[in-house]
Amino acid sequence: MDLQIKNQYFIVGGAGSGFGKAIALALAGEGAKVLAVSRTGSKLVEIQNRFPEDIEMLEGDITSNALQDKILTWTNGKRLAGVLVNAGGPPAGGFFNIDMGQWEEAWRMVVKWKIAFTRKLMPLFQKQKYGRIVFIESVSVKQPVENLILSNALRPAIVGFAKTLAQEVARFGITANVLAPGYHATPALERLFIRNSELKGISYNEAKKEFEEDIPVGKMATADEMASIALWLLSPLSRYVTGQTITHDGGTVRGVFG
């Protein structure tokens, strides 16, 4: 299938690993031009070496105003086709493990920066009357995940934000959607396995097995598998899909609207 994204420009947050890396590489593999953003420059060099003509790298914290302004400078003179709004998630923990300082920081890293970044990009999308925005969140927006109270409480705010935004900007040819991944073999989930093994006094492999037992298909997905959905949402082909939260979870969510 021709996704019609060849030579189109995209911004990918969290491109050093996990979903961001997989999506940046998939975009470049389709001939798109990608600004890959990550706090770890060495990881960016690795993916840029695979597509030196199509991937530019920008090292820094995408949640910061300073780096967001650098990204805006990069967009000058370009027709920006889409952005993957993605960065690391909050730490694991339950109600009694998380203090108010951690709640404040989680608000900043899960919610605040995404709204601020979207506001900065919106004039460009409106001017060109086109844009694709995809937020990477978590299956926790549809079904709480044990020991992830910060994610369970704050990520749904982005779903409400994206839904409302989608209604307001649809007339400009702009779409906004959320991808809600379940259990995937990514570094973020590795950290959760370690956390749960420590809390429960079980081995790493036992903690991993507990997660996999909750997946009806019986096995975790890879980031590459979800990347194919992200590419379609970032392409012109997804014109009629907006304000949606799409779960990629192997059947983990039990609700009717999962």
- Does position 15 have pLDDT exceeding 80, yes or no? yes
Characterise 243 by phi-psi region: left (phi > 0), alpha (psi -120 to 50), beta (else).
Answer: left
| DSSP result, 218-250 | SSPBPHHHHHHHHHHHTSGGGTT--S-EEEEST
- Domains of the chain, first to last: 9-182+223-245 (3.40.50.720), 184-220 (no CATH)
Q: What is the pLDDT of residues 49-87, one digit of tens each?
A: 999 999 999 999 999 999 999 999 999 999 999 999 999
- pLDDT band at residue 139, thresholds of 50, 70 and 90? very high
Q: What tokens does 193 get?
A: 């396995």
Q: What is the pLDDT of residues 1-13, one digit of tens each?
A: 899 999 999 999 9
| DSSP result, 174-221 | EEEEEEEE-SBSSHHHHHHHHHHHHHHT--HHHHHHHHHHT-TTSSPB
Q: What tokens does 84 get?
A: 């993957």
Min mean pLDDT across 26-40, 102-116, 191-205 is at 191-205
Virtual torsion, Cα 180, 184, 190, 192, nearest 10 deg: 40
Q: Which amino acid is at 133?
A: I
d(CA 206, CA 209): 5
**C-alpha to C-alpha distances, 103 to 141, 175, 213, 219, nearest whole angstrom:** 17, 30, 30, 32
Q: CB burial class (10 A; 0-12, 13-18, 19+) of residue 2?
A: exposed
d(CA 176, CA 186): 24
**C-alpha to C-alpha distances, 97 to 72, 106, 166, nearest whole angstrom:** 38, 14, 35
Q: What pLDDT, on a 0 to 100 scale, did the predictor assign at position 199?
A: 76
d(CA 201, CA 61): 34
